[in-house]
Structure 1
Amino acid sequence: MTTVPFTKMHGLGNDFVLLDERQMPGPIDPAWISQIADRHRGIGFDQLVVVDEDPELDAHVRFFNADGSESGACGNATRCVARMIHEETGKNEIGLRTARGILRAVRDGMGWSVDMGAPKLAWDQIPLAHDCAAEDVPLDIAGLPRPFAVNMGNPHAVFVVDHLESIDVAGMGPTLERHAMFPERANIGFVQVLDRSSARLRVFERGVGLTLACGSGACAAMVALVKKGLVDGRVRFQLDGGELQLEWDGMNGVVMTGPASLAYRGVISSEMAPSAS
C-alpha cells in the first residue's frame, strides 16, 4: 500500500506540509490538496510545499494554497524549506527556484533571511482589472482607505488603517479577495503603523483565509508603507503569530527575516494517498 512521507513546519504559526518529490515524485491534484488540508479529516495546513530537484540550485519549490490553487511565493514557507535543506546539507546559504524567481535564504541569529525580490507595481503585473495607480487603487469600501496594490509573487492589496483591531479581517477578507478589481484574486492585508520602525499586520490570504502570519504579505505591507513615507527602511512587523523583520531600500529586493519551526514528521496513510483520492 502506498504511503506518502511529509514534514510539518511553520513560520510564526503559518503552517505547511512539505512533500519531498526528490524522494517520491508523483502527481499533485488540487482536489487531493484540499482533502489533506482539512484540519479535521486530513492533516491541516495553510499551504502545501512541494520540493523537487533543480540542476543549478538547491531545490525547485512550488507552493499550493489550502484550496488547491497554486501560489507564486510564500515567504514563511521559503524559510522552512531553507531550514530543511540546511539540516540535510549543513549549508547556511540556500538558493531556491520558485515561480517568483530565484529566492536566496541566509541563516542568521533570528532564523533565516530571504530576499523576496523587488516588488512589481505596474497594474498589469499585479494584476489589476484596469490601468490605475497601484498606490491608490480605486476600490471604495465604506470605512476603509483605498488600498495599495503590489505583486510580491502573489497579488496583494494593503489597507493602511488607524485602528487595526477594529477591522473585521476574517469577515471582510472573502469579499475583498474576490473583488472584480483583482482578476487573479488577491491577498488582503490590513496594517497599522505603530512608529517609524514597527507596525501591526493581519492578512487574509488568497485561497487560505486568515492566517497567523504571511511573509509575502509583510513584504507587500513594507513596500506600501515605505512608498507612502510612513516608515524607515527597517521595520518589525507584529503578526498574530509573532514578529518578522523587514528591510527595503525602496529599489531592490525586500528582505524578510524570521524563524522556521519543525512541528513533526509523519506519513500520509494509503487511505489519503494521492492514488486513493
Structure 2
Amino acid sequence: MELHFTKMHGAGNDFIVIDGIHQDLSNMSRAQWRYLADRQFGIGADQILLIEKPTRPDAEFKYRIINHDGSEVEQCGNGSRCFVRFVREKNLTDKKQISVEVAHTLLVLSEKDHGLVEVNMGAPVLDLPLIPFHPSGLESRVTADTINYLLPTKEGSFWVTPVSMGNPHAVQIVDALDKAPVLLTGPLIEHHPSFPARVNAGFMQIIDRNTIHLRVFERGSGETLSCGTGACAAVVAGILQGVLDSPVSVHTKGGELLIEWQYANDGKNASVMMTGPAETVFEGKISVPDL
C-alpha cells in the first residue's frame, strides 16, 4: 500500500500526520503503525496522527493518536497544534478556529500569528478513578490544594501528583532536571500498578512562579523532546501545590510552551489553555509492507 504523509513537529515532539479522510487506512495493523514510526526502517516519529471524519455533529474533524509502539492514546497537546496547521495547509478547512473530536472529548483549536496555535485543553481531570489512579496502600500527604502520593519502585520512591489531561500523568518536582533519572525511573513510573492504564511520567524543575523546565517520559513512546499534555499537567500540579501562578512558561528540550490555567479565579473547572508552535518538516509517500 502506498501512503501519503506529512512529517511535522510541535516544539520538537515529532509526528507523522496522515489524511485518513481521502486514504483508506481501515486495515492498518499495529505492526504497520510501528513500521511507520520506526526511525531506522520507517519514517520515524514519536506519534502518528490520523485525521478522520467526525462521528459527532459538533466536530469538524476527528483525529486518532498512535504511539511509537503502535498503541493508541486519548490525547496529545503538541499533536493537536500540528493538526491545525495540517488541515489549514491542506485546504481541508479555511477556518482559523476548529472543533475537533479526540477520543471521547471535543477540543477547540485556534491558529494564531507567527506560526503559533492555541488549544483549549479543557479542565483537568483530578478525580482519581477517572485518571485512572488507584492509591490503595500508598502513603499520601496534603500540599496546599492537592494530595501527593508516594510511589515505591525498585529505584526508590517518588512523590507524584496524579492529573489527567485526557491522558494520565504523574508529575514530580525535582531539584535539578539535568540530573533527574528520567530514563531510569520513567519506565518504572509508567508501568506502576497504581496506574492501570499506564501513565506519563513528568519531571518538573521550578525556576520561578511563572517558569518551569520539564521532561516527560511518555507511555508507549519514551522520553520525547516535548509533551503538550505533560506541560499542562505539570502546570496544574504546580498551581494546586501553591508553587506556580498562571501563566507559566514551560521550557522543554524542544522548545517553549505557554500554559494558562485560571484556577485562582474559576477553580478546578477552569480550562487549561496551551499556546505553542507547530511546523511542517517535509511531505512524502511510502510503501507500507504487509505486516
Q: Deviations over 1:18-71 (max 9, x none)?
A: 111110122232121112211000111111111011254221111011111111
Partners of 1:189 and 1:215 lie apart in 2 by 11
Letter in 1 for 2:182: V
Is 1:253 the equivalent of 2:271?
yes
Gaps of 5+ in 1: none
In the alignment, which residue of structure 2 is the partner of 1:53?
53
CA contact (8 A) 1:145 1:161 kept: no
Letter in 2 for 1:96: V
CA contact (8 A) 1:144 1:161 kept: no
CA contact (8 A) 1:155 1:185 kept: yes
In the alignment, which residue of structure 2 is the partner of 1:80?
82
TM-score (norm 2): 0.89
1:115 equivalent among 83, 96, 120: 120
In the alignment, which residue of structure 2 is the partner of 1:262?
280
Moved more, 216-225 or 56-65: 56-65
Partners of 2:175 and 2:158 lie apart in 1 by 10
| Per-residue deviation, 1:135 | 2.9
Q: Deviations over 1:254-275 (max 9, x none)?
A: 1100000001111121xx25xx
SS of residue in 1 equivalent to 2:22:
coil
| Per-residue deviation, 1:123 | 1.3
In the alignment, which residue of structure 1 is the partner of 2:203?
190
SS of residue in 2 equivalent to 1:207:
coil
Partners of 1:77 and 1:230 lie apart in 2 by 28
In the alignment, which residue of structure 1 is the partner of 2:133?
128
Between Structure 1 and Structure 2, which shows a larger proportion of strand residues? 2
CA contact (8 A) 1:144 1:159 kept: no
Partners of 1:83 and 1:26 lie apart in 2 by 22
In the alignment, which residue of structure 1 is the partner of 2:177?
164
In the alignment, which residue of structure 2 is the partner of 1:10?
9
SS of residue in 2 equivalent to 1:230:
coil
1:144–1:164 distance in 2 versus 1, CA, 3 Å: farther
Is 1:211 the equivalent of 2:224?
yes
Say what the alpha-carbon RMSD is for the aligned residues: 1.7
In the alignment, which residue of structure 2 is the partner of 1:137?
149
CA contact (8 A) 1:135 1:224 kept: no
Q: Deviations over 1:152-184 (max 9, x none)?
A: 111100011121111121122112111111111
Moved over 6 A (4+): none
Is 1:29 the equivalent of 2:29?
yes
Letter in 1 for 2:42: G
| Per-residue deviation, 1:144 | 5.8
In the alignment, which residue of structure 1 is the partner of 2:143?
none
Partners of 1:100 and 1:149 lie apart in 2 by 20
Partners of 1:79 and 1:3 lie apart in 2 by 26
Q: Deviations over 1:211-239 (max 9, x none)?
A: 00000000100110010111111000000
Moved more, 190-199 or 50-59: 50-59
Gaps of 5+ in 2: 141-145
Letter in 1 for 2:23: M
Letter in 2 for 1:109: D
CA contact (8 A) 1:145 1:160 kept: no
1:203–1:34 distance in 2 versus 1, CA, 3 Å: same
| Per-residue deviation, 1:145 | 4.3
CA contact (8 A) 1:148 1:158 kept: yes
Tell me how many residue pairs correspond in the alignment: 272
Partners of 1:125 and 1:240 lie apart in 2 by 30
Partners of 1:191 and 1:146 lie apart in 2 by 12
Percent identity of the aligned residues? 41
Partners of 2:45 and 2:147 lie apart in 1 by 32
